[in-house]
Amino acid sequence: MIDKTVETNIVRLVGKVASDKSFSHEMYGEGFYNLDIEVPRLSDSVDILPITVSERLMVDIDLSIGQYVIIEGQLRSYNRYIDNSNRLVLTIFTKEIYIPEEEELEEALRKPNEIYLDGYICKKPIYRTTPFGREITDVLIAVNRSYNKSDYIPSIAWGRNARFCEKMLVGDHIKLWGRIQSREYQKKLPNGELERRIAFEVSVSKLEYVENDNNRLELCEEEA
C-alpha cells in the first residue's frame, strides 16, 4: 500500500488501455492527451478511469487498446462548464507511464489501484445507509498542490470509517488510503429524460485523523 507521506496526492494504477487517445489541451507548447484505463478490481469487475498524459511521456511507448501499463501520478479536479452548469471533472494526471515486464505486471496486479490523499474536509460529511443497511459517508477532501491550487476529491467511507467521518467538521485534517472507482448512474434532465453518466470517487479503505491541525476557522472554497 502507498505510504509516502511527504506528498499529499499519490496515485498508482495498473491496467489496460481502454480507448484511443484524444487531444485535451496545450500548455506552454506541450500537448496533453486523454485516454481511459481499465483497472481490475478484486471482485473481477473493472473500473474505467480517465487519465491525462503529456505527449513527451508517450514517446516510444505503445498505447494501443489492450496494452497493459503502469501509471503513477495524481488525482486532480477541474471545473468545467458543461450543459449550462459547472461540473467537477476528475482525471489522473500522469507523471510516469510505462509498460511493465511480465514478472513485474504479475506482481503489480496484486494491488492495481492505490491512492493516498492528505487534505482537509471542505464540505459537511453526509452519512447514509443503503437499502441493505450498509453505512456510507460521502466526504469531499480538498488537497493542496503547487501554485496555490487545490483539488477537490469526492470520497466514500464505509462501515466504521463511515461512522467516524460522519462526526468530522469542515476544516478537519485527514489522511486516507484507498482506490479510485468509477460508478455509473442516471441523471434526470429538466425535460424528464434520463442521461447515463459516470462518476469517479475514492473508496476509502484506511484513514487517519490529524489531531491539533485543522482549518476550521478558515473559509473553505465551495466546490462546483
CB 99 within 8 A of CB 68: yes
* pLDDT of 93 higher than 90: yes
Number of domains, the chain: 2
| Same-domain check for residues 145 and 207 | yes
Any domain includes 55? yes
pLDDT for res 220: 41
What radius of gyration do the chain's Cα atoms show?
18
Beta strands in the chain (DSSP E): 9-17, 22-27, 30-40, 46-54, 68-82, 85-98, 113-121, 126-129, 135-145, 149-158, 172-188, 194-214
Query: How sure is the predictor about 115, in pLDDT bands with cuts at 50, 70 and 90?
Result: very high
Q: Which three cell numbers stand for residue 178?
A: 484507498
Output the pTM of the full model.
Answer: 0.88
Query: How sure is the predictor about 221, in pLDDT bands with cuts at 50, 70 and 90?
Result: very low
CATH number at residue 159: 2.40.50.140
Q: In 3-state terms, what secondary structure has residue 111?
A: coil
pLDDT for res 80: 81
Domain boundary among 81, 110, 139: 110
C-alpha to C-alpha distances, 53 to 11, 59, 136, 144, 213, nearest whole angstrom: 14, 11, 33, 21, 34
Domain boundary among 110, 132, 161: 110
pLDDT, tens digit (0-9, with 9 covering 90-100), for 31-51: 999 999 999 998 889 999 999
* pLDDT of 200 higher than 80: yes
- CA atoms in the 13 A half-sphere facing the CB of 89: 13
Any domain includes 1? no
pLDDT for res 6: 60
Sole residue written with cell 462526526: 167
| Same-domain check for residues 128 and 102 | no
CB 32 within 8 A of CB 55: yes
Full domain range(s) for residue 200: 116-214
Any domain includes 42? yes
Residue, of 79 and 129, whose pLDDT is higher: 129
DSSP state of 56: G
